[in-house]
């Protein structure tokens, strides 16, 4: 195909089209990964809320588990948490992280064997100021 002495072939420079295709493919994959549906993490006032102790199951609750899993302690029993991970709540190995501290938390979900299937998980902020 030739017009006015110029060859109109869109595939003459294959590397440009390949680069554009790869960039568009990368953008599509990135957007698709971001659009994955996350579990509901809002407090449901119709469900029971538990006040628990939360920390690293291995470092502080002495569970025999791989790595540093998030765990809660309720009624003197320790449960591994599913539905949220230890890294969703900050750096676990920071000075105030779950591997170095046991924190109070409000949770909702169901207890199933040695696991707690979380639908809501919130760290309770403890005030350090003394009221007089």
- State mean pLDDT over 52-63: 94
More confidently predicted of 79 and 11: 79
- State mean pLDDT over 66-84: 94
Task: Report the pLDDT value the prediction gives residue 109, as an integer from 0 to 100.
Answer: 94
More confidently predicted of 12 and 129: 12
pTM: 0.65
Task: Report the pLDDT value the prediction gives residue 40, as an integer from 0 to 100.
Answer: 45
Residues near 123 by beta carbon (within 8 Å), at least 6 away in sequence: 54, 89, 103, 104, 105
CA of 131: how far to CAs of 104, 123, 124, 126, 128, in Å?
A: 20, 22, 19, 13, 10
Confidence of residue 117 (pLDDT cuts 50, 70, 90): very high
More confidently predicted of 114 and 11: 114
Task: Report the pLDDT value the prediction gives residue 43, as an integer from 0 to 100.
Answer: 84
Q: Decide the pairing of beta strands 115-123 and 77-82.
A: parallel
Cα–Cα distance measured from residue 101 to residue 121, given in angstroms and rounded to the nearest whole number: 17
Confidence of residue 26 (pLDDT cuts 50, 70, 90): confident
Tell me which residue of 73, 77, 81 sits closest to 110, measured CA to CA: 81
């Amino acid at each position: 195909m030739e017009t006015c002495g110029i060859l109109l072939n869109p595939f003459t420079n294959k590397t440009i089209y390949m680069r554009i295709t790869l960039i568009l493919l990368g953008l599509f994959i990135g957007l698709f990964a971001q659009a994955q549906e996350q579990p509901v993490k809002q407090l449901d006032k119709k469900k029971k809320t538990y006040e628990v102790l939360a920390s690293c199951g291995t470092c502080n609750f002495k569970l025999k588990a791989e790595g540093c899993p998030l765990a809660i302690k309720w009624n003197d029993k320790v449960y591994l948490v599913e539905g949220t991970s230890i890294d969703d709540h900050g750096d676990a190995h920071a000075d105030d992280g779950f591997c170095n501290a046991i924190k109070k938390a409000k949770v909702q979900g169901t207890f199933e064997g040695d696991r707690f299937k979380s639908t809501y998980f919130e760290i309770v902020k403890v005030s350090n100021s003394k009221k007089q």
